Structure 1
């Protein structure tokens, strides 16, 4: 029988519950990040206005806690889990003696379609399309040795974050001189501020069509930016770390890897404190006007140091969850997040829709108006509602709505949606 006939989604009983728990936890942090930076409009505000919202002591504290414990850590964790999921699908396909490429490619193409629809019709900050594109790059590594994969991790997560900012900083100085480079940087910053102001004005409109038009118009400006391309390379590096972890069953067989998880806790905490501490100090120095990225040449290395900090704390979260999950009492508590992780795509899309209703001008119109503490509180409140919603939905259905669509389009036939009495199932391919 041909491979597509055998291919089907995994049954609930075949899922790795710890991964669903971690995915639910990561989704919470990603939502807080998206709200803090994007949905609230903070990244689009003039610097003085954004600083005024964060000036009170409570807001300063919340911003510092966000930057230390949340910013980029949960995005790192989510990307890591994506790569680990690929590794699991690969091992299942190999166990059946078939190639993972056909089904996985179809999954990525469908995900790309969902992501592009999300990006243009709902929210410019979509990450699904990026994951889909980089997922094809991940296919290039599925037969590479651990050493080769690890070398690319270092290049993508450390080498490029050092090299690209260095070229951006020193290249114009060498080519045109320090004064001309400073003037060009100032003009570029002014242009960026103008584009952000137009997007903020569009999203603040009371017309739904005006807000979505402004969203779509921002996309051609955003996609080719060097910062975004560098971010994509780092995401691929995180994918590859997940691929390596999956190969060695780091989260599928935690008991055997207890010493490794304990080492991750220690060294992750060291890297996390150093990297994120550096980021906080530099941020405060910039606010005080004591350092300037355009003038202080050493600042090109800050992004690479921060990336190590992001990776370090993300590793702490992974190892901490893995070790606690082995204890029965903690397992019962943590499994509350598993249905959210099983419906991660549905919940991610739902977060975008709800956030537009809260922040855009045609909704409650709170964009650019809320301080950090209220943005965080709102995002946590919405996520708290998603937990019982996910439990209730999955008590009746096999998949979330978006997951059902994704799988049905991938396998070329509508998947059974309602839960049926438990019965024997054949081995799954993905």
Structure 2
């Protein structure tokens, strides 16, 4: 969740964390913006317990007009957009790391593998001990596959990126639906689907009961059971990892082309991305949301028919288009001095993205789980949105205060120290300032 960390000594090429002066501030700002969107998505769907609720209760919470408006805006403007930006930045950071290593005559592969290994351990601990929706371990696993593309041509990277985000959303769901029919017959396949859905509903009900418990141990054991029983047995995990790899590859390609490192040169391209991205994203995702609402009421076609697969699959290009528009818009605005001053407020949050991401989970489970404030499954989307925005505002202040005294966030410091096999200097020296707010051009 941070950009590359390589350097060289005067005697021989060695690796060390990137200096503050070497950072591309635009990427930190964009990462902070993406962190906010990811937190909104996590809060409104999973952390607040909405996805675990029975359909009747979830529908009752969503009935007021305000909740319907927020739901529509969430699906159109937030769903999968910010996690796409995060994945894009992960791939872009990998590209920067490779470029710096090549410039200094070192290999980034051993260091990158260690980084991913540490990230994998942090992610597994987060998923099992704190919150089941962890994304870090998935990034670490898919990041190992990303390494296979480090020497591939730009054309090959683009081919695979486009294929993964356009073809896989059709292929995987179709295979999940139709292969059992071909192997066992329609009736047996339908019975298996119904049995799995019943098992998932029972698992969600048990998980909601556990997370609502006043016992911390009961709640966290329920979280671990949900992670082990659902996320690693869900067939669509293959699709999810494929889509993440596709987003990584778009970031890798953008890093090679210096798209965000040299914004001024790519201004015309970024303007086109902004315009077309917004248009395609709003048409595909906004139209798709309206059609799926009508389809859920049975007014268009059979909800179990093949058109549902098509409608769901074409949403992914819409997610990518909207996320690309957000990135392009941020990059263009950041070149204006007034906007840069305002947007740079998010830079410390982005520099401490890993720490802040984990803090969001810890604070949220205290707010929602039964051993804390016990609000899980009780709040409509509007209140969950207000809570997560308040938490994020506090994180902005905390990040500024922390980085005024320390070089890295606490978890970033641990990640770097474990990666390099030695404790990194954490506290700033007297008179040492924080990272300069320089532009990305």
- Distance, in Å, in 1 between the alignment partners of 2:158 and 2:110 is 26
Q: State TM-score, norm by structure 2.
A: 0.93
**What is the match of residue 157 of structure 1?**
165
Is 2:57 the counterpart of 1:53?
no
- The alignment covers a number of residue pairs equal to 423
What are the residue-to-residue correspondences of 1:149-188 with 2, within 5 Å? Answer: 149-188=157-196
Pick one of 426, 434, 440 that aligns with 1:417.
426
**What is the match of residue 376 of structure 1?**
385
CA RMSD of aligned residues (A): 1.7
Is 2:155 the counterpart of 1:143?
no
**What is the match of residue 293 of structure 2?**
284
- Distance, in Å, in 1 between the alignment partners of 2:354 and 2:47 is 18
Is 2:7 the counterpart of 1:20?
no
- Distance, in Å, in 2 between the alignment partners of 1:110 and 1:199 is 29
**What is the match of residue 438 of structure 2?**
none
Is 2:278 the counterpart of 1:301?
no
Of 292-301 and 208-217, deviating more is 292-301
**What is the match of residue 17 of structure 2?**
9
- Distance, in Å, in 1 between the alignment partners of 2:190 and 2:286 is 28
Pick one of 250, 264, 270 that aligns with 2:273.
264
Gap change, CA 1:194 and 1:2, over 3 Å in 2: farther
Q: CA deviation at 1:2?
A: 11
- Distance, in Å, in 1 between the alignment partners of 2:392 and 2:12 is 37
Question: SS of the counterpart of 2:142?
Answer: helix
Is 2:407 the counterpart of 1:407?
no
Residue by residue over 1:91-133, the C-alpha shift from the partner in whole angstroms, topping out at 9 and shown as x without a partner, is 0000001111011111111111111111111111111101111
Of 92-101 and 297-306, deviating more is 297-306
Q: Is the contact between residue 29 and residue 346 of structure 2 (CA under 8 Å) also seen in structure 1?
A: yes
- Distance, in Å, in 2 between the alignment partners of 1:3 and 1:56 is 67
Question: SS of the counterpart of 2:17?
Answer: coil
Residue by residue over 1:256-279, the C-alpha shift from the partner in whole angstroms, topping out at 9 and shown as x without a partner, is 000110110121112201220233
What are the residue-to-residue correspondences of 1:233-272 with 2, within 5 Å? Answer: 233-272=242-281
Long gaps (5+) in structure 1: 424-430
Gap change, CA 1:62 and 1:3, over 3 Å in 2: farther
Question: SS of the counterpart of 2:266?
Answer: helix
Q: Is the contact between residue 205 and residue 211 of structure 1 (CA under 8 Å) also seen in structure 2?
A: yes
- Distance, in Å, in 2 between the alignment partners of 1:176 and 1:131 is 35
Runs of 4+ in structure 1 deviating by more than 6 angstroms, as ranges, are: 1-5
**What is the match of residue 220 of structure 1?**
228
Q: Is the contact between residue 182 and residue 294 of structure 1 (CA under 8 Å) also seen in structure 2?
A: no
- Distance, in Å, in 2 between the alignment partners of 1:329 and 1:167 is 51
